Structure 1
Amino acid sequence: MISYASLLKQEKWRLIDQSTTGLHVSPLHSFGMDDTLCSSVGSGLAPATARTWVHERTIVLGIQDTRLPYLEEALHYLEDKDYRYIVRNSGGLAVVLDEGVLNISLILPEQDRGIDINSGYDTMWDLIKHMFNEYGKEIEAKEIVGSYCPGSYDLSIDGQKFAGISQRRLRNGVAVQIYLCVSGSGRERAEIIKEFYQQGVQGKTTKFEYPVIVPEVMASLSELLGVSLTVDQVMTKLLLTLKDNAEFLYADHLQEEEIPLFESYYHRVVERNEKILQPFR
């Protein structure tokens, strides 16, 4: 296995920036994109790729969320709050996307060398620590109980979570995905998910233990660092960090060979969502 310390360092980093264009398309587009890049990077068609994406008010559900006993009521609540919703194809539970949340995907090739689960998580943690080291705050990776989509690699400062990491593995490619709450109120985002689960569970006993959300344990980076951060400023930090960890960094878009892959993977993601959510629309 490769040690995580070497994974951030690549001969080439390709950057696909959809932090602006993503506001005009469905978030399903992003999950189709990451599957496409897993395939092209995993096959050696493309080098290691970083992709950034931002979407308008959307709740991204995990598959377990679709098994809530009162899912229809929970989805109506989201609609009343002017949120769209989709079901993602990577692990985890419900998270909030909006214009103050920057998503970063690192797509790495496995090829003939395996990347274990923790190495993928550690690589993203390392990236974020590098990006924000100037503020002198310790960024911890541990589960923050009471947060939405809790996991052992929740990223936090002083016990308050600002980011969560997931992974998607496909065709010798690994997509490590993170949502960074850059600006706005982490507590207000958590309140939305808290009510979503209250509407979806309504006290009923379930086989799966859904998180009990404590909004106070979540915050944005702007709140935690005491500065007014924007997505554009964080993009600059990402670029500088990737540049420090590559011999060559370049901006790009999907290449001609990748476009048919995207059309296929995007179609699959859309079909899957329609199949899961159709009974509730």
Structure 2
Amino acid sequence: MDGLLYQPQWRIIDQSAVGPQFPALQSFGMDDTLCASIGSGQAPATARTWVHHNTIVLGIQDTKLPFLQEGVRFLKEQGYQSIVRNSGGLSVVLDEGVLNISLIFPEAEKGIDIDRGYEAMWRLIQRMFADFPQQIEAKEIVGSYCPGSYDLSIDGKKFAGISQRRIRKGVAVQIYLCVNGSGSQRAELVKEFYRLAKQDASTKFFVPDIVPEVMASLSELLDVDLTIGDCMFRLLTELKKASDTLFSGGLNEVELGLLPGYYQRIAERNEKILAI
């Protein structure tokens, strides 16, 4: 078992079935809170799972698009809310067929190398689906939304992306897994957002040229009907192997005190950027 994946204790905070009333901004406030508490030794390593309905998560760079509000209005017309996250990357689609997993580690004295965080998540996903013959690769998939060197793919089609967030000696490695539904339809939505938000203007930063055909869900790629519950079971099975103690829990007293401040910070930032 990878040294980073193995932890004496893994706490599970499962928010995958909260429903459409669960605000996506709260998730990013939650992960910042967990980074602060785990980094300061006031909580054990934690795996948090979360699902949000019809949400487009924009990256900081996306907010600099010249016609951003036109893109956001289009998404709203399609029934999607837009938020801006505080971790790296570009736009991604969240809906009831996308499972998000955050692994929050305490940073060791020498620190956790950024690639080591990505590798740990990649290895975890490989183990979760090791009973299938298809090989899960980590490499950039050109034409995908939110492209990066640790895009997870099968046969050249991306189904997941990984980002990281670091606060006060806590490291959150976050992944979105397109479990079911159409990966290419999700990509079409983001492609149209970029078309409207950029138009013919030139930009000094990278705007992805999205090719919907290079994206798919795990259900499509593995040719099996997977559910969020199936993936949760696989995740818990692997984390149980990676710890002496696996337990389900909520926020502790320290974290409950920290959460309002972290949530307010990201909420205020979103209010300023996305006010229409």
Q: TM-score by structure 2 length?
A: 0.98
Residue 38 of structure 1 aligns with which residue? Answer: 35
Superposed, 1:1-281 pairs within 5 Å as: 5-21=2-18, 23-278=20-275, 281=276
Displacement of 1:22: 5.4
Displacement of 1:111: 4.3
Distance, in Å, in 2 between the alignment partners of 1:47 and 1:238 is: 18
| RMSD over aligned Cα atoms | 1.0
> Are the equivalent residues in 1 in contact too, given 2:32–2:262 (CA < 8 A)?
yes
Distance, in Å, in 1 between the alignment partners of 2:252 and 2:264 is: 18
Distance, in Å, in 1 between the alignment partners of 2:33 and 2:206 is: 33
Distance, in Å, in 2 between the alignment partners of 1:132 and 1:220 is: 13
- For structure 1, the residue ranges without an aligned partner over 5 or more in a row are none
**AA paired with 1:11?**
P
> Are the equivalent residues in 1 in contact too, given 2:69–2:274 (CA < 8 A)?
no
SS in 1 for 2:206: coil
Distance, in Å, in 2 between the alignment partners of 1:223 and 1:111 is: 39
> Are the equivalent residues in 2 in contact too, given 1:147–1:161 (CA < 8 A)?
yes
Distance, in Å, in 2 between the alignment partners of 1:143 and 1:93 is: 14
Deviation by residue 1:200-250 (Cα, 9 ceiling, x = unmatched):
111211111200000000000000000000000100000000001111100
Distance, in Å, in 1 between the alignment partners of 2:42 and 2:61 is: 34
Displacement of 1:25: 1.7
SS in 1 for 2:150: coil
Displacement of 1:24: 1.9
Deviation by residue 1:116-163 (Cα, 9 ceiling, x = unmatched):
100000000011000000002110000000000000000000000000
Distance, in Å, in 2 between the alignment partners of 1:263 and 1:87 is: 18
Distance, in Å, in 2 between the alignment partners of 1:74 and 1:257 is: 39
Distance, in Å, in 2 between the alignment partners of 1:148 and 1:91 is: 13
**AA paired with 1:203?**
D
Please say which of residues 177-186 and 112-121 is displaced more in the overlay. Answer: 112-121
Identity %: 64
Distance, in Å, in 2 between the alignment partners of 1:239 and 1:22 is: 21
SS in 1 for 2:9: strand
- For structure 2, the residue ranges without an aligned partner over 5 or more in a row are none
Distance, in Å, in 1 between the alignment partners of 2:28 and 2:254 is: 18
> Are the equivalent residues in 2 in contact too, given 1:111–1:173 (CA < 8 A)?
no
SS in 2 for 1:262: helix
Question: Number of residue pairs matched?
Answer: 276
